[in-house]
Chains A and B, each alone.
Chain A
């Protein structure tokens, strides 16, 4: 029987992709311009930092290329680690949970085509971000070591097998896991493992203080520097082959062995992966159809939350209880808290690592300045968290909106519940971040009060903006909450938040400066019209940023159609 071509099996995917692209284009040029600017800024930043480091390395006789090679090896090894994790998770969706599987599996498509099509899909979904990240890094290498235009093609030739390997490996791990656990339970398990691993990687990365790489002159001797650069090296690591291939080329030579190793291993992996797929996929797919066995008695939850929320009207109470339960029962949601905890630890570690208290006399000016600017940074961290947890709140109701809209639920109550369910934990985190940072910095009571009051007002505004923008740019079709903040609306929200943070900090700069002057002069701080006006302006900005997005969100929600 004639089999459909691989391109035919993949046709719905690329056609849908093209259509989405066309829709994006017809949606106006503004979106594309903003995305391009953000991407270029990111690339420029990565390129800039690496360019500086590599230029320094290039200036070091003999050791320079070695250090550059070590750095590339470290980067490629990290990419492989990230790609394996990301492929394991993506493969679970594309091979076992995707909506098109019923059609493909029931059609007379042979197992090899199905495997290759799904492997390609998994590879593309999990590797595009790493590929984008690799672009400025390799460009920096190419520019510093005069790789020329041909280097682009050569780098592609080297990296292509390097992304295939983790895709096959990740897919194989998923295939085996699904044969042991039900697919949905595997997904939960993987979310926790992946996020836990990511948390550990971030912590380790932070603890080795990578910022020291950018200023090698600060090292006491070369040995210290090499110690920091110590990376796992093994002749069996594909990242080492790729590093060898690239660095040899950049030094003007050409070694076919690393390329041969990369390509033959990739081909071998695909063959082995296909064989494993042939043996295990049918049973794994069958198991994936079984639901995760879940028997839940929510009595305790219900009683505790009911008691706490007793003063609220029934509809609001039930809504809050529902949202809290859904959050803690969805492993993909609550497991993000692991990363959040790591983020807080890293944040506080950064503050503690600041070289403020090394001198004899504590520089009061710097402490106040850091504490003040910390408001902006905390605000940014809170905005990122709001983007992840509050921004998708309305989008996630999309599939159930038939129920909410056909019931006599006041949309204000819905918005109110969503707002407070998101804001209360964010507020606790904000106070914790700012309060602990201030304690670590040993700030004065004046700065403590100013920063705590400001961060409270900012948190209320950030949460409202997240909800407002989430309602203005809903993603009702997306089932994965983690994808929603990466949409265009998420970007607009983050940019608006940065504007708010900047405005509030500028507004408060005057009274903080007046306070510093007064302390320096040894005179008591006298609140004048300027100071009071600045505080009123900052409060006004935060109030407007709280009320307006909620009002706009409510009006938008009233016009939703399904």
Chain B
């Protein structure tokens, strides 16, 4: 469903994403992990068509996001890490507006809008301006907006930030059901427990390059780790666990 070929992104002389290739098959929940500044957000924003790559291409359902953006983007729902929305629109108006961007309007959108607000417990806030929403409520609204047009795949950057435990659980269930029904999710997260529990496949990015990708057993095999080794250990091993040990030492100093 999502195919990345030789994707590179340079900011001046700094290489944020360095010739990465990745395939996210239909019906997969794919975890995209990496330390801060590894290139996760840049990659996801290129997939969403927000950033243009320096080299390489991104295909969504076979259509190039940057060559045929209008066709490709119809398949996509994007959830960014920072929930900036129009403060002076109400929740319902915002969702209606997003549906309109995807060429959808009418009773179908109204029903879908009510369903989503109900699911995320925002119904009572439906006609309230977004400026009155808390961070978590904004995040829920953005997640609803990514689902309003019934996308085929969702690209999501740090979805759990700011969500209460109930909403986080709800989101996990939604993603799981979405994938079980044939949808595709590419999700970046720092919460390794969630990634290990939810994701069918995982890619780990470090310094702009993918250092491991596949199912958990495949990654264990790639890193020559034992069967019992968890994702956290694998992650630290691949991304420089020494730093964590140094951090522990620094924190221990008085």
Residues of A within 8 A of B (CB): 184, 291-298, 302, 313-315, 317-319, 321-322, 325-326, 329-330, 399-410, 559, 561-562
Contact = CB atoms under 8 A, between A and B. Distances in A.
A406 B49 contact: yes
A292 B127 contact: no
Most buried by B among A296, A317, A326, A407: A407
Interface residues of B, number: 38
B131 A402 contact: no
A326 B89 contact: yes
A224 to B, nearest CB: 51
Given A326-B88, A402-B78, A402-B80, A561 B50 contact: yes
Given A318-B105, A406-B49, A298 B93 contact: yes
A406 B70 CA distance: 10
B234 interface: no
A474 to B, nearest CB: 15
B123 interface: no
Interface stretch (B96-104, B191-199, B205-213, B239-247): B96-104
Contacts of B51: 561-562
Nearest to A184: B131
* Among all A-B residue pairs, the 10 with the closest Cβ atoms: A318-B100, A406-B78, A406-B48, A408-B73, A407-B101, A329-B88, A399-B84, A291-B132, A405-B50, A294-B129
10 contacts: A291-B132, A297-B127, A317-B105, A325-B93, A326-B88, A400-B85, A406-B49, A407-B101, A408-B71, A408-B101
A185 to B, nearest CB: 11
Nearest to B65: A406
Contacts of A315: 100-103
A400 B88 CA distance: 13
Interface in B59-107: 69-74, 76, 78, 80, 84-86, 88-90, 93, 96-105
B49 A405 contact: yes
Contacts of A562: 45, 50-51
B176 interface: no
B128 A295 contact: yes
Contacts of A325: 88-89, 93
B104 A314 contact: yes
A318 B95 CA distance: 11
Contacts of A406: 48-50, 73, 76, 78
Contacts of A561: 50-52
Interface in B131-145: 131-132, 145
A326 B127 CA distance: 15
Given A297-B127, A562-B45, A330 B74 contact: no
Interface in B35-53: 45, 48-52
Interface string B116-158: 0000000000011101100000000000010000000000000
B174 to A, nearest CB: 19
Most buried by B among A315, A326, A403: A403
A407 B73 contact: yes
Contacts of B98: 403, 407
Contacts of B49: 405-406
A250 B10 CA distance: 63
B72 to A, nearest CB: 8
A329 B104 CA distance: 25
Contacts of B89: 322, 325-326
Nearest to A316: B100
B52 A329 contact: no
B101 A296 contact: no
Nearest to A293: B132
Contacts of B76: 406
Interface string B21-46: 00000000000000000000000010
B93 A400 contact: no
Nearest to B77: A406
B103 A291 contact: no
Nearest to B75: A408
B105 A314 contact: yes
B90 A298 contact: yes
Contacts of A403: 78, 85, 98, 101, 145
A193 B64 CA distance: 52
A330 B88 CA distance: 7
Contact of B100 (A184, A296, A314): A314
A276 B127 CA distance: 38
A559 B215 CA distance: 36
A270 B59 CA distance: 63
Most buried by B among A295, A314, A402, A405: A402
B70 A408 contact: yes
A313 B103 contact: yes
Most buried by B among A317, A322, A401, A406: A406
Nearest to A399: B84
Contacts of A409: 101
A408 B80 CA distance: 16
Contacts of B132: 291-294
A189 to B, nearest CB: 16
Contacts of B70: 408, 410
Contact of B129 (A296, A314, A399): A296
B97 to A, nearest CB: 5
A330 to B, nearest CB: 5
A399 B105 CA distance: 24
A294 B74 CA distance: 33
A297 B86 CA distance: 16
Given A321-B97, A401-B50, A408-B74, 12 more contacts: A296-B90, A296-B128, A298-B127, A329-B129, A399-B84, A402-B78, A402-B84, A406-B49, A406-B78, A407-B98, A408-B73, A562-B45
A404 B101 contact: yes
Nearest to A329: B88
Nearest to A330: B88
A290 to B, nearest CB: 9
Nearest to A397: B86
